[in-house]
Every structure is written in C-alpha cells, then in structure tokens.
Amino acid sequence: MVEHCPFKAGVLGSSPSRLTRTQRIHGSQPFSDAGATDFPNSHNAKASCWDEGMKDILYGSASRMARALRAKKLSSVELIRAHLDRIVAVNPKLNAVVQLAEEQALAEARKADRALARGDLRGPLHGIPFTLKDAIEAEGLVSTGGTEGRKSFVPSQDATVVRRLRAAGAILLGKTNCPELGWAWETDNLIYGRTNNPYDLSLSPGGSSGGESAIIAAGGSAFGLGSDAGGSVRFPAHCAGIASIKPTSGRVPRTGHFPGPGGPIDSIWQIGPLARSVEDLELVLLVISGPDWHDAAVVPMPLGEARAVELNKLRVAFFTDNGIAPPEAEVAEAVRRAAQALAEAGASVEEARPPEIEQTFEIFRALFCADGGAGLEALLTSAGTTRFHPLMERALEIQRRHACSMPEYGALVSRWDAFRRAMLGFMQRYDVLLSPVSSQIEMIHGSTYDRLPSFSYTMTYNLTGWPAAVVRAGTSSRGMPIGIQLASRPWEEHVALAAARVIEESLGGYHQPPL
C-alpha cells in the first residue's frame, strides 16, 4: 500500500463540502471580471500524497486504480486525497475545476474503504474519483451550464449518468468548466473565465468539455464525462492528449443535462467519457449506457466487447483531408502513422474517403442556424441570462445571418437524410473510418468562430449519429498533442475502441504534460 499521507481526518474537509467561494488569481485573462477558480489549500505541500509515490497512479488509468484498490495496494481515501491535492496544485493555472466537493468525496472514500474491508465491492468503479462537465447536473453542486442565469442553480438530483456512476462505486470530485451552453470549441464563460491547456497555458484545451480534458490530462481526475454536439468530447481530447468517445446516438441517456434532450436535431448530440486510457472509455461506457425511461431517444442496445474484435478481419478506410479544411502537415502525418499501426496489427487498410463527406459543414451549419437563433435566445431567456459571453454573441450573429424559411428547412432535412444514407452505404465496405479530429493542432483562445470549418472532421459523425473515438497518435514540433479519430458503424463502439487501443499501444497514447 502507498504510504499513508500525514493528513488528519477531515483536513481537506475544513471548507464546506460544496465549495461556494471563488477567488481571482493572477494570470487569469477572462473576458469579464470572472477569474480562475482557486480553492483553499489546507495541505502541507511537502507532506502531500503527490510527493509520496502517487505520481504513477495519478497519471495511470482508472482501470489500473480500480485494480490497485481491489488488491488493497492503496485506499480510496489515499486516492481521493491525492487527486484533491493535485487539483489544488494545478487549478490556479488551468482554471478547470469550478466546483469542488471535498468533504463529500472524502466521506464517500471512507465508506468505500470500510465496504471493501468487509468484502463488499460496490461496482467496477469502487472508490475511483471522477469529474463532470458543468452542463451535467449533480445533486447539491452548483450547475451553471456556463451561463450567468444559472450561476446559483443547485440541482436537487443527479443526472442519470451521475447516478449510475455513483451506483458503480465512483466518487465525484467536482464540476469542470465549459463555455456558455456548450456553444464553443473552447472553454470560457462570464462566470468562471477561461480554461487553459496543461501543455501550453497560453492555449485552450478545446471545448466544450475543455475543463474535463484539462484536469484529466493534468492528473487531477481519473476520468470524466462531457457532451458532444459537434466534437465537444473529441476535440478537447485531441487538444489535451487524452482519449474520448462520442457514443452512438441513443446509447446514453442525457436526462439531467443542461440544455436537455429533445427537438429536431436531438440525434446530433450525446454524453460520452473522457480518460487518459482507452480501456477506461469502455469501462465507463458500460456503466452509463442503456434506457432510463426518461430520455425517449435511448434504446436497449447491447454494448460489444473490444477484446472480442478480431483485428485481422478489420477493414479500415482512412483519409487525411475531408475536402473542407486542409489539415496541417503534422496532423496528416499522425493519421498516416495510425493507419500504419493498424495495418501492422493485421487490419486491412486502404485510403478512401466518402464523397458525401464534403457536404458536412454546409449541412451542419444550416441545421444549427435554421431558426435564426430563436431557440438559443429562448433557452438563454429561460435560464434568466441577460448578459452573454462574446463567443455566444458571435454564435447568435452567425445564426441570424444563416436563418432559413420553412420550405428551405424541409429541403435541408431531406439533404441531411440523403447524407446519412450515403455515408452508411460507404460503411458497408468498412468497419472503421480513420481521420483527423481537426485540421489544426492548437486551439487559440477566442478563435472558435474564426475557424469553424476546421471542426468539420468531428461534425460528420454528429450528423450520422455514429460512434467516434479519439486517441493521441503523435506530438507536434512544438510539443502539443495530436489526436486521431476512429468512427465505426452504428452501435459498434467496441470496434472503434479496439482500433483506438491498437493505436494507443503502438504510438504511445497519453503523455504527462509539463505542468
């Protein structure tokens, strides 16, 4: 067992279990008077768990942590304290964690240790810490969705996915930052300010689940949940060098997410896991999947096992350029290295691109702008928001500019259906479609609406509703992570994850940031 840290019981819990105080810290550059979130640190830095043998554990996989806990090589209390300590150390620079549940997490860890001592294993995530994107509700923790109208909103119950994680033994550490209503491929809002990338603090960790990608990459959380309507769990994973998956539309219930499910483009978005290891994505997905009898889009479809996939029977198509946004040379090179790794593992690999994919950006933008921003404005009004972040202002301006009439909308939906049919026809010949996550490697703060076509690589699989995983496949000349994307047929998440595991093992996967 890792040597016990010299903390007295309740030291971390000396502040309220639901942290309500936030402080500005130097170095934050938000759009408003909001600043980076700092938490009171009652730890002795020289005597912290971080300094006493936890480094390898904290940068490892959640699956490895679970195995160590079951083998009683460390306790849940030690693990939770070490993660809390790490958050305190890195959050002033990252501004990733915006609500922290110290007392509650430690109390649950003590219960987990007592249960394990009795031989009572609650589930596959027994005693393992996790974090949540601030759009996903957790009982008793402020859940803003990044918009000012909800800055004091406290949910009375957990989202379905949170309840399922807790039932599997996982312990919630806190909530992480996101842009207003999730409407950006970066992470910044008027309540908490912007979140920074642990590989380069002058850059964004992506969005909209950028708080998750930043704190997971920095070793402050074992895994987390985000949501994805255009790449929002995949693009942050690319930016921060971790793994993620957007499941098939209808796989995971979104009850308790803000904004909630429903509407004419409901099939475009899903909740999905982010982690440092591909094996963790499958573990978490097994826990959170399946109907909850509230989200009407979710069906009881079995989830396959990645280990059952026969790599020598896998048919892989890859492309480096989608015909919309030409990739940087190092992005294309990463995709080719990934293709080579799959070929060496026994898969049949060929370069091929669905012709219809070039329509992605036009269809996606048209769908999101069809009502001229009326739906988004109504959502902001219902939340009580009267002041918008500059990125939200840009989104609304673009929507107003691209509004369409009802006849035009009918034609658009028909075009979308034709796109999905054509894409599905292409996959009759393949099991996996390998591509870039984005045309660009680095995400500059404030640049979302100056580079929308670069996100078309992820938008494609929101339009089709297929599962798509991301894993790190390289490092740029500036030391930044480069992810690649693996899409598979509907309901075949296990195939995408099996291919991602090959690339992770062959090309190195996650690397610790220099933070």
Catalytic positions, written as ranges: 133, 208, 232
The pair of three-digit structure tokens given for residue 108, joined into one six-digit string: 């649950």
User: Tokens 């380069």 sit at which residue?
Assistant: 200
Cite the beta strand spans of 231-341 per DSSP E.
243-246, 270-275, 315-318
User: Tokens 């690649």 sit at which residue?
Assistant: 484
The alpha carbon dihedral of 176, 178, 180, 183 has a sign of negative
- State the pairing for strand pair 315-318/348-351: parallel
Q: What angle do CA 227, 231, 236 make, to 5 degrees?
A: 80
Collapsed DSSP state (helix, strand, coil) of residue 51: helix
Q: What does the alpha-carbon distance between residue 81 and residue 88 come to, in Å, rounded to a whole number?
A: 11
Phi, psi dihedrals of residue 413, rounded to the nearest 5°: -65, -40
Q: What does the alpha-carbon distance between residue 180 and residue 281 come to, in Å, rounded to a whole number?
A: 26
Q: How many residues does the chain have?
A: 515
Q: What does the alpha-carbon distance between residue 233 and residue 185 come to, in Å, rounded to a whole number?
A: 10
Rounded CA Rg of the chain:
21
Cite the beta strand spans of 101-182 per DSSP E.
129-133, 171-176
